[in-house]
A = this chain, B = another copy of it.
Amino acid sequence: MDKAFINFKYVDAIARAGSIRRAAEALSITPSALNRRLISVEDELEVQIFERLPRGVRLNAAGEILIQHIRTQLSDFERVKSQIADLSGFRRGEVTIACSQALLPFFLPEQIDRYRTEHPMIQVCVLPRDRSAAEAALADFTADLAIVFEPIKISDFHPIITVRQEIHAVMDRSHPLARKTKLRLRDCLEYPLALPTKAYGVRWLFDQATEKRNQSILPLLESDSFEFLRMAVRNTDLITLQIEVGLAANETKKSVISRPIVELDIASGLLHFGHLRGRVLSVAAAKFATQLAQVLSERYESV
């Protein structure tokens, strides 16, 4: 185990756990030891970092400043290690990316596989996060990069590239609508719908489109899991929606297919790829970012 910054890592763990005892468990040490580490840090700074509550601890103002520094710091050190490993010849490091569910089945596995063939020593970590959680992961340095669809607030988010995403209807290959190459929204509304919950961007665009027509459509099936929705439409007349990046590249042999919906009926959304503003990426993360940005710009219309 890494001994550098051990105290800072402990403080970070306490801040994340919200309790010394829980943090101690996560770190596999006794609460008393961790407590003394914290007190020794506070003594050195001559300032309290956490306020002690009956149910745990919480960062105070000084702690907020410190934790921000600690996380910047730890991330910077990763970058330095990455740089050093880089000039030692063999590339090492790790990249963590927070992204919408839509990227999980096809896009990211393909890209990571391609990336790993060039940089086999690099460890890639994928965190599925909804729109707000992805930004939170960037903010607390849990993730280096994020790909989010239709984010709510985009403060502190530095976009590398933003691409437009058409909405597609996803259905069984034997579905009546499968014969058409392009669908109208009204075609879809004649069939039962299986949609993501309102937390997701696709659903939000769908609700906007139906509101505009003064139709309030309730889906027959709702789920947080895109994978479940994709599986649910098999062998039924259900229809679900998905953005381009979440579709398989080659559908000829799949049991589930997709058809684009004309843009007049339902607006296309924006997929944002970027990192925390002001953050300096490690060599590993920067290379991965470059690859993703290139692929996205090749495949989709960038704005």
Residues of A within 8 A of B (CB): 2-4, 7-8, 40-41, 44-45, 47, 61-62, 65-66, 69, 72-73, 76-77, 80-81, 83-85, 87-88
CA A28 to CA B237, docked complex, whole Å:
79
Q: Which residues of B contact A44 (CB under 8 A)?
A: 2-4
CA A87 to CA B62, docked complex, whole Å:
7
A88 touches B69 (CB 8 A): no
A62 touches B84 (CB 8 A): yes
Contact residues of A: prevailing secondary structure: helix
Which of B2, B8, B47, B80 interacts with A69 by CB under 8 Å?
A: B80
Which of B3, B41, B84 interacts with A47 by CB under 8 Å?
A: B84
CA A83 to CA B63, docked complex, whole Å:
11
Q: Who on chain B is nearest to A2 by CB?
A: B44
CA A40 to CA B1, docked complex, whole Å:
12
A4 touches B3 (CB 8 A): no
A47, chain B: closest CB distance, angstroms? 5
B4 touches A88 (CB 8 A): no
Give the 3 A-B CB pairs with smallest separation, nearest first. A69-B80, A62-B84, A65-B83
A285, chain B: closest CB distance, angstroms? 17
Q: Who on chain B is nearest to A77 by CB?
A: B69
Which of B45, B80, B87 interacts with A84 by CB under 8 Å?
A: B45
B80 touches A66 (CB 8 A): yes
A177, chain B: closest CB distance, angstroms? 57
B84 touches A66 (CB 8 A): yes
Q: Which residues of B contact A73 (CB under 8 A)?
A: 73, 76
B80 touches A47 (CB 8 A): no
CA A72 to CA B85, docked complex, whole Å:
20
A194, chain B: closest CB distance, angstroms? 50
CA A160 to CA B44, docked complex, whole Å:
33
CA A2 to CA B40, docked complex, whole Å:
11
Q: Which residues of B contact A72 (CB under 8 A)?
A: 76
Decide: A47 near B88, CB < 8 A? Known: A66-B80, A80-B66. yes
